[in-house]
Structure 1
């Protein structure tokens, strides 16, 4: 079990956004974190990556919590944020070098992997450019390259498809599939439900800071037989039920 979240209560102030959230991501599994705006997806992610401290509950990666061992916990995570974060004064090459240093990667092996990733995302001729000047989609690709450069055991990917061109979306999904086969676990927050349905192994549906339901697409269909066949139909039905309750 790579990621285990148990009875998580948390948020940004005294009033909790997350209310007793529990779910897991197993080894080699892609789990889709689904929810409307304000459902608690970003808050959940910010707790996992250590930007927020839980009011109650635990978060463990391969048995280690942030309070057990900060370094061991964080070195297992690769994070791709919804809004790309780049350093104004660093070139693309320097972003990669910083990632290699942060994760203590073997330079030769890391650069070999970096060149493959740069070519895949058509950034191989931009090593001396400053990503701060790139388009949003290109900066997103920089985040993807930096993340997949690592040997992280858990990938946290927040809304990766918004802003990426169709070819880059396909390339990202291929990389995710390859890492899954290697045993890497991936939690992906997305509102692109059709793509999520095709690619995720399981889903965690958040509503109003709580896990409304979770499972494979077949399990969701069986649990809510009148909601419809697609993940989009099921989620919209559950969201409307939640608003009405």
Structure 2
């Protein structure tokens, strides 16, 4: 396996780690505000990486390595891959964080493909794999951006990225205190029912800071709502990731630094 560096830039900041023998290690946070900062942080991890994988929250044209829009890192918009290659002199992969989380499904042992991945942090990230473990993309040049997917909810803000992201959870906590987790869990479960009926996945990966933080509070409502699926829709296996670094695992797969565990 080639050794390299992986980066995840999201709403809670930038995390970076080394890839050694196919495993992501020594993950830490980094302060970056320019492509030069990012290149410097990568080279501090490995001064001669065989490859670099970058996951970024937002709208990304992975084929061209261009970031079209990012709420988390507006400075990265533009030809990010080309900028990094010129500074690092190594192959660079740049993908949306939804795709990175989806590719992380391939690193899980004994998991059936295809699948969908939903990461819940400051905003919502979504990715999908077909039954062969390849990414499924919309008809355009970018990955999935569910910022305008409407969540059926009584709240004023019903867009998925808000209602299921950190802002939506904060609003629930402010209005409902200790009861916020259960309400949020049912909100998420309702969204999942719609997504499962649309994509018919065999595996659903739930990940991100909110999933780690709320933990088992999500399990009961999600299981309950999965049982409401029509009999014509197979119930998928739902995997709750215990790690905040799932996007780094997917970035390693995209950059060719790690091989899928599943076959």
Same fold (TM over 0.5): no
TM-score, normalised via structure 2 length: 0.29
TM-score, normalised via structure 1 length: 0.31
